Amino acid sequence: MTTLSPYKAEFLKAAIDGGVLKFGNFELKSKRISPYFFNAGDFYRADLLRAISTAYAKAIIEARDQTGLEFDVIFGPAYKGIPLATSTTDKLAALDPDAYSQICYSFDRKEAKDHGEGGNIVGAPLKGKRVLIVDDVITAGTAKRDAIAKIQKEGGTVVGIVVALDRMEKLPAPDGDDSKPMPSAIGEIRKEYNIPIFAILTLDDIIAGMGSFATPDDIRRIEEYRAKYKATD
């Protein structure tokens, strides 16, 4: 059985204890009925915010150590990405001040401001900067493509994306036949933009860590869901 690294196990426990990761029957945008649901918007309590920012920071440090990931600005797409970007920037500087005390954060407005300083971006300027996007999940990929386009329009270069959860789930088939092999949204964006995408947790991680808190029925249902909808990449 796979053993989760300590930071992943701590994050999974916080998500369960805080009601961020729930088990049951949940209808997704794709109309699939999922046996679990993860909502990073529920990390609004101080201890939970600390848990998720710590997990993002440790995932980023791990990615740096394993792949050489380097960046100047952390970008959080509005709205859920805004607290994630700001809190992760602070946590990185606390965990590794030598490497990260000078990094910056930015986020976008849903609508451009037409007075004062104006523009679409709040925080650090992106021109000429290496930008790391942080967000909760990638579902269809539309929001991430919009964020990448905004960053590129401002003159920044996207060097990676970090998400809280990779559902490892294939995109719906155009003809509605879910038995067909299909890629995931993460796989499509990774291939389309040639950028790395990192996740704090994957569905495999959730299943690996479920034994200590989930019922056998929950575990069985999630394993069946994974088998039915797992992506080709």
Residues with a known catalytic role: 113, 115
Are the C-beta atoms of 201 and 14 separated by less than 8 Å?
Answer: no
Please state, in angstroms and rounded to a whole number, the distance separating the CA atoms of residues 82 and 24: 29
* Helix spans in the chain (H): 6-17, 46-67, 81-95, 97-100, 142-153, 185-193, 203-209, 216-229
Please state, in angstroms and rounded to a whole number, the distance separating the CA atoms of residues 20 and 38: 6
Beta strands in 72-184 (DSSP E): 73-76, 104-113, 119-123, 130-137, 157-166
Record the tokens describing residue 1, joined without a space.
């059985």
Record the tokens describing residue 212, joined without a space.
């200590």
Are the C-beta atoms of 189 and 160 separated by less than 8 Å?
Answer: no
3-state secondary structure of 220: helix
